[in-house]
């Protein structure tokens, strides 16, 4: 009897060790983007952005998660990270290229360091309003630009909205061009933005978004430019006194996925990713527009002084940046620039 019990317990021990060995092997062969939970079948998307969890961009990311998890029946789960927890626009895009992160949603400006044609959207005063931007971005030329990301090991699934950018600073009210004189302005990491601000008379410095609040607080820079929603939700009013409706650039976001992760999905799953990125983008654009409409008032309620840029002053700004646009046309690609201008014209007919 004792012998039988010993034999049985030895068999049990061997069976348990074999089971442990198997799951260990599965976990290590799965690599990044997959999880051994759910019987080793589920894939995990790590999705990170620079803005905080109050911003419509994060709410859009949560919508993407909801759609993906529901449509894939939990076969793909999405972990969301905000406030630069995984890095800034540039480093997260690089992580997608390496396959160590699956999703990020950067502004097109830093993305132009990967695909120069995206700088077409850095042309100041390009889009007259959000509706025209939607038509161009969701239309032929916008989608052609997304295709170009593939050569960089990235998949562009849709455009979301960052929005029209407006200027804030801690020094003075900005109403006309002369008020830009010498202002130390943080710009996104993009050469066209830098040169455009130089042409306006400012003293620009490129910097990742994750460093911006501290730089404003410590006075390393006097000001920055972002849509009202970001200025309010990131609490820049705590360290900035003046806001002007410069509306100098419309910033799109691009919903990016790591190509190596995307290529490992089934055709059905790839379709779900595209649909979810488009659907969540529509939701994000709507929330973002509501936020930008209401937050200029909130900034004034928090004590910021609002200064309007007169139409004459805007004309002056348009003239000042014109040579910069000419200088960059070749670098962006004449064909892309022409196509975008034509699409904008068509969209307004």
Q: Determine the residue with CB nearest ligand KDG.
A: 50
Question: How far is 93 from 113, CA to CA, in rounded Å?
Answer: 10
Residue labelled with tokens 């409706």:
245
Q: Which is nearer to ligand KDG, 155 or 254 (CB)?
A: 254
Angle at CA of residue 46, ends 117 and 262, nearest 5°? 55
If one asks whether residue 89 binds ligand KDG (CB under 6 A), the answer comes out as yes
If one asks whether residue 107 binds ligand KDG (CB under 6 A), the answer comes out as yes
Give yes or no for a contact between 88 and 209, defined as CB atoms under 8 angstroms apart: yes
If one asks whether residue 168 binds ligand KDG (CB under 6 A), the answer comes out as no
In this structure, the number of other CB atoms found within 10 A of the CB of residue 218 comes to 9
Q: Which is nearer to ligand KDG, 33 or 50 (CB)?
A: 50
One residue of 121, 127, 180, 209 binding ligand KDG per CB under 6 A: 209
If one asks whether residue 287 binds ligand KDG (CB under 6 A), the answer comes out as no
Q: Residue 74 Cβ, how far from ligand KDG at the closest point, in Å?
A: 27
Q: Which is nearer to ligand KDG, 108 or 336 (CB)?
A: 108
> Count of residues binding ligand KDG (CB under 6 A)?
13
Alpha carbon 283 to its chain's center: 15
If one asks whether residue 226 binds ligand KDG (CB under 6 A), the answer comes out as yes
Q: Which is nearer to ligand KDG, 155 or 265 (CB)?
A: 155
One residue of 57, 101, 234, 292 binding ligand KDG per CB under 6 A: 57
In this structure, the number of other CB atoms found within 10 A of the CB of residue 344 comes to 17
45 CB-near residues (< 8 Å, 6+ apart): 33, 68, 76, 77, 78, 79, 102, 103, 261
Q: Residue 117 Cβ, how far from ligand KDG at the closest point, in Å?
A: 18
Q: Are strands 166-169 and 242-244 parallel, antiparallel or unpaired?
A: antiparallel
Q: Residue 13 Cβ, how far from ligand KDG at the closest point, in Å?
A: 52
Q: Residue 238 Cβ, how far from ligand KDG at the closest point, in Å?
A: 17
Instruction: Show the beta-strand stretches assigned E in 49-133.
Output: 76-81, 103-104
Question: How far is 89 from 120, CA to CA, in rounded Å?
Answer: 18
One residue of 95, 96, 188, 296 binding ligand KDG per CB under 6 A: 188
If one asks whether residue 292 binds ligand KDG (CB under 6 A), the answer comes out as no
Q: Which class for 168: exposed (0-12), middle (13-18), buried (19 or more C-beta within 10 A)? A: buried
Of 17-25, 103-111, 297-305, 336-344, the window that binds ligand KDG (rule: CB under 6 A) is 103-111
If one asks whether residue 251 binds ligand KDG (CB under 6 A), the answer comes out as yes
Question: How far is 253 from 226, CA to CA, in rounded Å?
Answer: 13
Which residues bind to ligand KDG, rule: CB under 6 A? 49-51, 57, 89, 105-107, 162, 188, 209, 226, 251
């Amino acid at each position: 009897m004792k012998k039988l019990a010993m034999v049985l317990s030895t068999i049990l021990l061997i069976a348990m060790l074999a089971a442990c060995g198997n799951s260990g092997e599965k976990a290590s062969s799965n690599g990044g983007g997959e999880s051994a939970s759910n019987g080793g079948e589920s894939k995990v998307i790590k999705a990170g952005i620079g803005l905080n969890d109050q911003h419509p961009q994060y709410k859009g990311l949560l919508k993407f998660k909801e759609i993906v998890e529901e449509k894939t029946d939990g076969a793909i789960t999405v972990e969301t990270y905000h406030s630069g927890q995984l890095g800034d626009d540039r480093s997260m895009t690089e992580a997608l290229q390496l396959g160590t992160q699956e999703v990020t949603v950067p502004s097109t400006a830093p993305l132009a360091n990967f695909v120069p044609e995206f700088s077409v959207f850095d042309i100041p005063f390009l889009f007259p309003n959000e509706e025209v931007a939607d038509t161009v971005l969701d239309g032929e030329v916008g989608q052609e630009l997304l295709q170009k990301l593939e050569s960089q090991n990235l998949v562009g699934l849709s455009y979301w909205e960052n929005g029209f950018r407006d200027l804030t600073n801690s020094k003075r009210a900005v109403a006309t061009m002369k008020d830009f004189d010498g202002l130390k302005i943080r710009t996104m990491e993009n050469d066209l933005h830098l040169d455009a601000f130089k042409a306006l008379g400012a003293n620009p410095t490129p910097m990742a978004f994750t460093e911006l609040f501290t730089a404003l607080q410590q006075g390393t820079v006097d000001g920055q430019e972002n849509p009202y929603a970001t200025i309010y939700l990131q609490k820049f009013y705590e360290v900035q006194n003046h806001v002007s409706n410069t509306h100098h650039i419309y910033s799109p976001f691009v919903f990016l996925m790591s190509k190596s992760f995307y290529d490992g999905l089934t055709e059905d799953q790839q379709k779900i990713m595209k649909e979810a990125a488009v659907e969540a983008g529509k939701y994000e654009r709507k929330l973002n527009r509501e936020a930008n409409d209401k937050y200029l008032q909130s900034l004034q309620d928090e004590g910021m002084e609002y200064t309007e840029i007169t139409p004459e002053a805007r004309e002056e700004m348009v003239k000042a940046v014109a040579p910069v646009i000419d200088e960059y046309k070749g670098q962006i690609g004449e064909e892309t620039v022409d196509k975008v201008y034509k699409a904008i014209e068509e969209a307004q007919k």
